[in-house]
Chains A and B, each alone.
Chain A
Amino acid sequence: MSLDKQVALVTGASRGIGRAIAHELGREGAVVVGTATSAAGADAITQDLLAQGLRGQGLVLQVTDAASVEAAVKAVTEAFGAPTILVNNAGITRDNLLMRMKDEEWESILATNLTSVYRLSKAVIRGMMKAKYGRIINVGSVVGSMGNAGQTNYAAAKAGLLGFTKSLAREVGSRGITVNAVAPGFIDTDMTRALPDEQRAVLIGAVPLARLGSPEDVAAAVAFLASERAGYITGETLHVNGGMYMA
């Protein structure tokens, strides 16, 4: 299979999009380390991979904690070798109108959705430089390009992630490392299940393909960018949104 020799680190793989990404990369042959914020979550990932017949394990990672990031990358490296694929997927929402937004809501989004991308990328880039090969895929959002009322914090972080992606792509391109983003639209996960029904209906109305996306729809795009076939694509954003936004 195409990812046979690769070691993939996928953050936030306990559920939703991250879980689908872990499965897809595993099916393509990569050793997959998926992370959760709790030990129980990490164990569940290990069991889940095993049940699917995939190589890899779960790991505890708190992306907002620098020491946790360092420990996680070290653990992966010791167990399987330095990661050659990093998928920065972990993310949260803390929606509020700007006028009501608390500093804590702003800061937690920036820390979890953007600073984490900086930290994890920095932690794996050394190994990729040495290998002269690497794939970093950052999971953004359509909202980072379109904007969305009630999500100034989230959209700022996701747009920031795109700037980060392009800049790092320029920095490390000469070493065979590609850095890309996948920007999901409205995907059926816990994150969107939290929305009221009326709001979901309105959102689906704005999607030409007239349905929510599945985590697998996003995972397929990530797996493509992680593959060797995508080796001439870098600094790019692949939108997976059913046509709700056409870049």
Chain B
Amino acid sequence: MSSIEERVKKIIIEQLGVKEEQVTNDASFVDDLGADSLDTVELVMALEEEFECEIPDEDAEKITTVQQAIDYVSAHLG
């Protein structure tokens, strides 16, 4: 079983079509990984599916970097 961090990064790589080495923990989806607003919505959808959870819009808006995504998933999966 891979760690949450690995799973989150794998989804980001797939969804945004970026290279593994670009997905550093402090990378911002929009500024560093070239995502547009629709990409970030889709990314959240993909995270919801992978981790079988629902991410409310208020929370989704605050997930803008790789680390924030990892932290959110970690915190909510306990």
Q: Which residues of A contact B (CB under 8 A)?
A: 126, 129-130, 171-172, 174-175
Contact = CB atoms under 8 A, between A and B. Distances in A.
A32 B57 CA distance: 31
Interface of B: 38, 41-42, 45
B45 A126 contact: yes
Contacts of B38: 129, 171-172, 174-175
Q: 3 shortest A-B CB distances, which residue pairs?
A: A129-B42, A126-B45, A171-B38
Contacts of A129: 38, 41-42, 45
A178 to B, nearest CB: 15
Chain B contact residues: over half helix, strand or loop, or mixed?
A: helix
9 contacts: A126-B45, A129-B38, A129-B41, A129-B45, A130-B45, A171-B38, A172-B38, A174-B38, A175-B38
A68 B71 CA distance: 35
A175 B42 CA distance: 10
A174 B35 CA distance: 13
A126 B46 CA distance: 11
Contacts of B42: 129
Nearest to A174: B38
A179 B45 CA distance: 21
A143 to B, nearest CB: 33
A218 B42 CA distance: 34
Contacts of A172: 38
Given A129-B41, A175-B38, 8 more contacts: A126-B45, A129-B38, A129-B42, A129-B45, A130-B45, A171-B38, A172-B38, A174-B38
A174 B38 CA distance: 9
Nearest to A171: B38
A73 to B, nearest CB: 15
Nearest to A173: B38
A175 B38 CA distance: 9
A169 to B, nearest CB: 13
B37 to A, nearest CB: 9
A126 B42 CA distance: 9
B62 to A, nearest CB: 20
A100 B66 CA distance: 57
Nearest to B46: A130
Nearest to A172: B38
B28 to A, nearest CB: 20
Contacts of B45: 126, 129-130
Nearest to A129: B42
Contacts of A174: 38
A128 to B, nearest CB: 11
Nearest to B37: A171
A129 B40 CA distance: 12
A172 B42 CA distance: 11
A174 B41 CA distance: 14
B14 to A, nearest CB: 13
A129 B27 CA distance: 25
